[in-house]
Chains A and B, each alone.
Chain A
Amino acid sequence: MNYTLAVKDIINSVKKWRVWYNLALYDTKAKYQRTKLGPIWIVLVNLIFVGGISLVWSIIQHADIRSILPRFFSGFIVWQFLSSFVLEGCEVFTVEKKIIFNIPIEKFTFLLKNAVIQSVILLHNLAGFFIVMTLMGNWPNFYMLLFIPALILTLIAAIGISLILSFIAARFRDISPLIKSLMSVGMLVTPVLWDASQFGTKYYLVYINPFAIFLDLLRKPLLGQPIGMLELSLALMLTFVISGVAFMLFSRFRHRIIYWI
């Protein structure tokens, strides 16, 4: 295992931020090149989805849509953010085959690039969320500032997870379809639409699902609520473990990626 080379790869890729930052922006640009609305589509699609589901849910639950929409909207965009690191994470290296084969480049670059792409989408969604919140008369409060440190912690864990999955999925090609099918039930077992309190006294069981931990970590500040000690400590612990595993994998297999893709 070569830890020095792995650390060097990470440091150098951070230093060459222009590469991943610009690649991410141009990739996003290219995706919406021929559309009139561009990335605003991301927001619109989500607005329609979230609005529709909230409406139906409010009728089924005999609840006020005003209490359901903010929670579901924030939960859904955070869920999209988290799940994209898992889904897109699997492809991080396989889609960059051409670049990896033809120029010497730090491997960590591609994980950072993916993180920028997902963050850009999240920012668009957040803009949509805050516009809707303002229209509904929910004004921001100071707890919302907690979103920034929560996002940083989540990004560390998310980059770690995408690293682990990108390695495994590149080497074992059956993993990617497996994960895609697992993620399609993911949102239903994560308290995006429903609430952990519906588990009653066993509400903590929800946190067996790591998505639930980071979901609450990011969603509570968005809703203007303080972050609980339970999800914060669990998130810190998980981030620590994930980064550790990711770093070990990176040190051990970084140079073999090229043979797997």
Chain B
Amino acid sequence: MSKITLDKVNLHYPLYDLSANDFRLKLLKAATGGKIESGKDVTVHALNDISIEFNHGDRVAIVGGNGAGKSTFLRTVAGIYEPTSGQIKVEGNLSTLLDITLGMNDELSGAQNIFCMSYILGRTKKQIEERLTEIIEFSELGEFINLPVRTYSSGMRVRLAFSVISFLSSDILIIDEFFGAGDKGFIEKARAKMMELVTNSSILLFVSHSKELVYELCNKMLILEKGHVKEFGGIKEIGPKYFKEKKDKNES
């Protein structure tokens, strides 16, 4: 049974080589809306005292404005950032889908890239070979699979990358929105594959701006604001209000 527990998690994010009066800093402050503390070193207080629990069956949409800390939150739960204070306990194995083209090398062929990218994700040669035909078939790259990736169009790259990651199986999935590229037919197929991945997982943490996707994949919602938890609950309860407010804000 998978479980994620965060207890009073804080994350201070240092920014280097910026002086306190720097123009770039002001720009950053305006752009992120996050809280920037300037002392000797400039730090962003990206996650502020977050205590929360995710259990088996939770499919959580993480939403909030720009700079609310959504991606930082995902990366902290995944263990990419270590919290400045507080505890994070993760039970179950965890996979991140934050950047799908991770480890892709332009000079190598599509097939070589399948191996290279899968090794980064921690798979063994045997596991990769077992899935190889399936992955190649899913990517619809045909003969292109033996050509170097630098000859690919951006749509083909996405197809290759998605095919590699979509054969993950994991208790906990941490996903940052990455749809958009690729041709229409493939997006549909990728969505179906995503649903399958999510169904087989125990906990999903999903950052997305798409209302449609969020309703399709998630059953809970976590609203972040300036690194705080603003609201956490069932998507049916807090979802409509959140999206209505967001829509009103965009229209005004």
Chain A residues within an 8 Å CB radius of B106:
30
- Asked if B102 and A30 make an inter-chain contact with CB atoms under 8 angstroms apart, the answer reads no
Min CB–CB distance A92 → chain B (angstroms) = 16
Q: A18-B122, A22-B115 are in contact. Are A98 and B17 (CB under 8 A)?
A: no
- Asked if B107 and A34 make an inter-chain contact with CB atoms under 8 angstroms apart, the answer reads yes
In the A-B complex, list the 9 residue pairs whose CB atoms are closest, starting with the nearest.
A104-B79, A255-B82, A22-B119, A30-B107, A33-B107, A102-B99, A102-B98, A26-B116, A30-B105
Chain B residues within an 8 Å CB radius of A99:
102-103, 120
- Asked if B108 and A29 make an inter-chain contact with CB atoms under 8 angstroms apart, the answer reads yes
| Complex Cα gap A20–B99 (Å) | 19
The verdict on B66 contacting chain A, using a C-beta distance below 8 Å, is: no
List A residues 62-118 near B (Cβ within 8 Å).
98-105
Size class of the A contact interface (CB-based, 8 Å): 20 to 34
Q: A26-B108, A33-B107, A34-B107 are in contact. Are A19 and B119 (CB under 8 A)?
A: yes
- Asked if B80 and A102 make an inter-chain contact with CB atoms under 8 angstroms apart, the answer reads yes
The verdict on A14 contacting chain B, using a C-beta distance below 8 Å, is: no
B interface: dominant SS: loop
Scan B119-159; emit 1 where CB is below 8 A from any A CB, else 0: 11111110000000000000000000000100000000000
Min CB–CB distance A258 → chain B (angstroms) = 6
Scan B59-91; emit 1 where CB is below 8 A from any A CB, else 0: 000000000000000010011111000000000
Residue of B13, B75, B102, B148 touching A98 (CB-CB under 8 A): B102
Size class of the B contact interface (CB-based, 8 Å): 20 to 34
The verdict on A180 contacting chain B, using a C-beta distance below 8 Å, is: no
List B residues 103-118 near A (Cβ within 8 Å).
103, 105-108, 112, 115-116
Chain B residues within an 8 Å CB radius of A171:
16
Chain A residues within an 8 Å CB radius of B105:
26-27, 30
- Asked if A260 and B102 make an inter-chain contact with CB atoms under 8 angstroms apart, the answer reads no
Nearest A residue to B121 by beta-carbon distance?
A: A103
Min CB–CB distance B100 → chain A (angstroms) = 9
| Complex Cα gap A256–B112 (Å) | 32
The verdict on B96 contacting chain A, using a C-beta distance below 8 Å, is: yes
Q: A103-B80, A103-B102 are in contact. Are A16 and B107 (CB under 8 A)?
A: no
Chain B residues within an 8 Å CB radius of A258:
80-81
- Asked if B99 and A98 make an inter-chain contact with CB atoms under 8 angstroms apart, the answer reads yes
Min CB–CB distance B108 → chain A (angstroms) = 5
- Asked if A23 and B96 make an inter-chain contact with CB atoms under 8 angstroms apart, the answer reads no
Min CB–CB distance B129 → chain A (angstroms) = 13
Q: A33-B107, A104-B94, A258-B80 are in contact. Are A22 and B16 (CB under 8 A)?
A: no
The verdict on B14 contacting chain A, using a C-beta distance below 8 Å, is: yes
| Complex Cα gap A251–B102 (Å) | 27
Min CB–CB distance B137 → chain A (angstroms) = 23
- Asked if B112 and A104 make an inter-chain contact with CB atoms under 8 angstroms apart, the answer reads no
Min CB–CB distance A252 → chain B (angstroms) = 13
Q: A33-B148, A104-B78 are in contact. Are A26 and B112 (CB under 8 A)?
A: yes
Nearest B residue to A104 by beta-carbon distance?
A: B79
